[in-house]
């Protein structure tokens, strides 16, 4: 099937803490020049979609080189479609709070919640975990933006959303509904946005268990880059096998 779109991860693929990875800008432009519709798809809940064109420009890329889908926006869209009248207790970055409010949902700070939505929380504390625990009742839906265990930075790995989600799992015994990568919810939403079939997509990312697994499950072509979460040795030994392994996004022309 002909490639029509490229789904490109951000953290560990295009940037680390919004510092451009060498060659990534050239790789993105190569995808565009190959005629592919580029969509940046991130599990990060801190990337502000309203400011994303300016972020691209700051990296030396055209403002319109590609749109953005995040696990925060996908979570808000899912809740608005399936639980529009829900009172939502949110654990995570301010962007996650804003996305859920902007989708027309009610965000509460205390008390019983219809939904607890959790992403990477920079302010995790005993007090926050206590309020989160008390938000649950028998019918509460537990939603996770993503399961990422770690997050790459120039100084090394930091805890990801999985640390927050895992703490909530540990104290409630509840399994979350995951919306972001590798969930089919994210794959379906991105394909719908792009107007393409999964088999027409090339997924490029640094994480076997989010980017590549999502693509594998959805029937997409996959390319692993070695600039983030996964080493070549880990990739070779894994049950999740990318179609291509590249040193970086800057080498994408090798498979175009």
pLDDT class for 219, splitting at 50, 70, 90? very high
* Residues with active-site annotation: 9, 11
- 18 and 61 in contact (C-beta within 8 Å)? no
Report how far residue 39's alpha carbon sits from residue 28's, in angstroms, rounded to the nearest whole number: 10
- Total number of residues shown for the chain: 256
pLDDT by residue (tens digit) across 150-179? 877 778 888 889 999 999 999 999 999 999
Contacts of 118 (CB under 8 A, 6+ apart): 90, 91, 92, 132, 142, 143, 144, 145, 161, 164, 165, 168, 176
Convert the pLDDT of each residue in 36-53 to its tens digit.
999 999 998 888 898 999
Give me the CATH topology for the region 77-178: Rossmann fold (3.40.50)
Whether 77-178 and 5-43+181-255 are alike in CATH topology: the answer is: yes
pLDDT in tens, 225-245: 999 888 999 999 999 999 999
* Domain ranges (residues) in the chain: 5-43+181-255, 77-178
**Each residue's pLDDT tens digit, 54-71:** 999 999 999 999 999 999
Please give the class, per CATH, of domain 5-43+181-255: alpha beta
Q: Helix H segments across the chain?
A: 24-33, 52-58, 71-82, 94-102, 126-135, 161-172, 184-194, 213-218, 232-237
Question: How far is it, in rounded angstroms, from Cα 231 to Cα 249?
Answer: 15
Q: Which helix (H) or strand (E) holds 157?
A: strand 156-159
Cβ proximity of 73 and 49 under 8 Å: yes
Note the pLDDT of residue 46. 86
Q: What is the pTM of this model?
A: 0.88
- Given this model, what pLDDT does residue 229 score? 84
Q: What percent of the chain has pLDDT over 90?
A: 86
Confidence at residue 17, expressed as pLDDT on a 0 to 100 scale: 77
């Amino acid at each position: 099937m002909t490639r029509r779109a490229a789904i490109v991860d951000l953290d560990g693929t295009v940037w680390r803490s919004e510092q451009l990875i060498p060659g990534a800008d050239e790789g993105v432009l190569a995808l565009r020049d190959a005629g592919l519709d580029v969509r940046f798809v991130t599990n990060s809940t801190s990337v502000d979609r309203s400011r994303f064109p300016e972020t691209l420009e700051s990296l030396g890329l055209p403002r319109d080189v590609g749109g953005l889908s995040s696990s925060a926006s996908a979570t808000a869209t899912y809740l608005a479609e399936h639980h529009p009248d829900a009172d939502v207790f949110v654990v995570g970055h301010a962007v996650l709070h804003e996305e859920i409010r902007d989708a027309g949902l009610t965000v509460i700070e205390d008390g019983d919640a219809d939904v607890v939505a959790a992403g990477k929380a920079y302010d995790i504390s005993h007090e926050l975990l206590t309020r989160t625990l008390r938000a649950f009742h028998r019918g509460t839906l537990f939603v996770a933006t993503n399961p990422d265990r770690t997050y790459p930075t120039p100084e090394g790995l930091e805890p990801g959303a999985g640390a927050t989600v895992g703490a909530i799992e540990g104290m409630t015994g509840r399994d979350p509904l995951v919306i972001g990568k590798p969930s089919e919810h994210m794959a379906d939403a991105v394909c719908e946005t792009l107007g393409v079939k999964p088999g027409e997509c090339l997924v490029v990312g640094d994480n076997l268990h989010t980017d590549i697994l999502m693509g594998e499950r959805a029937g997409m072509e996959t390319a692993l880059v070695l600039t983030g979460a996964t080493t070549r040795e880990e990739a070779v030994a894994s049950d999740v096998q990318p179609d291509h392994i590249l040193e970086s996004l800057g080498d994408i022309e090798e498979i175009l």
